[in-house]
Every structure is written in structure tokens, then in C-alpha cells.
Amino acid sequence: MSNYIIAPSILSANFARLGDEVNDVLTAGADWIHFDVMDNHYVPNLTIGPMVCAALRKEGIKAPIDVHLMVEPVDSLVEPFAKAGASSISFHPEASKHVHRTIMLIKEQGCKVGLVLNPGTALSVLDPVLSLLDLVLVMSVDPGFGGQSFIPESINKIKQVRTLIDNSGYEIRLEVDGGITPANVGAIAKAGADTFVAGSAIFSAQDYTDVIAEFRRALA
């Protein structure tokens, strides 16, 4: 069992049959379910909230649900998502007035906590809070939509975050989100990522087992 996590983003799933889609990717070998929350304010798109997360838990989904909040403000949604069964909650520092307070709030609610770096966000935001984090999520596209192309400069950023994490000695996952396919996941892993979000590459595939196997082969 490798230490690599594959987290399909349900943003690209068929929402009309979401429970089946989630069960299908998990049966096909996915590790986590990546849950993109957009508010038409922090990002120019609107998706799903805590009720949908709770519905997946009620449907019997046991896998970790990796909530990616692209909302502003952040704090008021933390408790609803924790109650709805989120395993981890990641947020964008630009969207919270008090980044440390939001981190502590997520931890108090018993969830793992992640900070998300947009392509235009400097790494320095990690310095004061790195020791508190369970994951760093590097966006390799600008947030808001599935199906965008991987921004090549992200590779350099992933390498830099890898070095920061290794030097810190903390156990922090390095997750990457946006434009990931079986063709580029190897290079992304080589740069230091260990957790891979993929939306369109997985949900547009004919066969989820085949495409996840393709990801695993590229990571082997």
C-alpha cells in the first residue's frame, strides 16, 4: 500500500446520482472524497454545502471526506461541516480575517485542518502556522472550476512546500488540486506531492477502476 492518496473531486461527478458516483469511485480504488464548496463570492461559482456532506454520510459513505472551502467568510461554515461528517477542512487564508483563529476552530471541531495556496499566494503564509496543519493544499489552477489546465509553475511551488514540510519535521500531507491527469501525476509526485485531487480526469472516464489504476501505475 503506497502512501499516495487519490481524492476524486465530486465537482465533476453527476450530481443527479451523487451517492452512486461516490460509491463507484471508492469501489474503483479512490482513497478520499474531495468535496469542493464554492459560494459565488470568494470564487465565481456555486456548488454544495454541509447538507450534501451529511447526505453522503447518511448514504453510508465511510471514506474520508476532504472538504475544500472556497468561501468567504470561512468560520461560520466550520461547525456545520464538522457536524455533517467532514474529515478534513481546508480553507484559503485570503478568505479568513483571522487565519490562526480559523485553524483552531477547525481543530476544536475534531477535523483535520488544511491551508490552501492559490497560484498567486506566497508561501510565507505558512510560516506562522505550519506546526498546526495536517495538510497543505497547493492549487495548480485558480480556484472556481473543474477542467482547467495544470499551471506548470506549480511544480516549483510544490518542491518548495515539500522542503518546508520536510525541514519542519511535522507530519503534514502535501495535496495538489487542479488539472491533474495520469499523464502529469508522476511529475507532480516527483516534485513532492503525496495527495492528488482529480475531478474531470476521473469522472469523465468511461471506467473509474481503469482510470484510477492508470493513476496508480503512473505513481508506482
Tell me which of ligand DX5, Zn ion, none is bound by residue 147, counting a contact when its beta carbon lies within the kind-specific cut-off of 5 to 8 angstroms. ligand DX5
Q: Does 66 bind Zn ion (CB under 5 A)?
A: no
Q: Between 50 and 143, whose beta carbon lies closer to ligand DX5?
A: 143
Q: Does 177 bind Zn ion (CB under 5 A)?
A: yes
How large is the greatest C-alpha to C-alpha distance in the chain, in angstroms? 45
Among 5, 6, 12, 90, binds ligand DX5 (CB under 6 A): 12
Q: Between 45 and 160, whose beta carbon lies closer to Zn ion?
A: 45
Q: Does 148 bind ligand DX5 (CB under 6 A)?
A: yes
166 is catalytic: no
Q: Between 192 and 196, whose beta carbon lies closer to ligand DX5?
A: 196
The residues in 58-97 that bind ligand DX5, with binding defined as CB under 6 A, are: 68
Closest CA to 121 of 145, 154, 90: 154
Query: Among the options 36, 39, 66, 194, which is catalytic?
Result: 36
Phi-psi region for residue 169, left (φ > 0), alpha (ψ -120 to 50) or beta?
left
Spatial distance between the Cα atoms of 56 and 51, rounded to a whole number of angstroms: 9
Q: Does 200 bind ligand DX5 (CB under 6 A)?
A: yes
31 is catalytic: no
Q: How many CB atoms lie within 10 A of CB 37?
A: 25
- Sheet bearing 88-91, strands edge to edge: 5-8, 195-198, 173-177, 135-139, 112-117, 88-91, 65-70, 33-38
Q: Between 7 and 172, whose beta carbon lies closer to Zn ion?
A: 7
Report CA dihedral (94, 97, 98, 99) to the nearest 10 degrees: -10
User: In the chain, which residue ranges form alpha helices assigned H by DSSP?
Assistant: 18-27, 50-58, 78-83, 99-108, 154-168, 185-190, 200-203, 208-219
CB of 74 to Zn ion, least distance (A): 15
Q: Please give the positions annotated as active site.
A: 36, 177
Residues that bind ligand DX5 (CB under 6 A): 9, 11-12, 34, 36, 68, 141, 143-144, 146-148, 177-180, 197-201
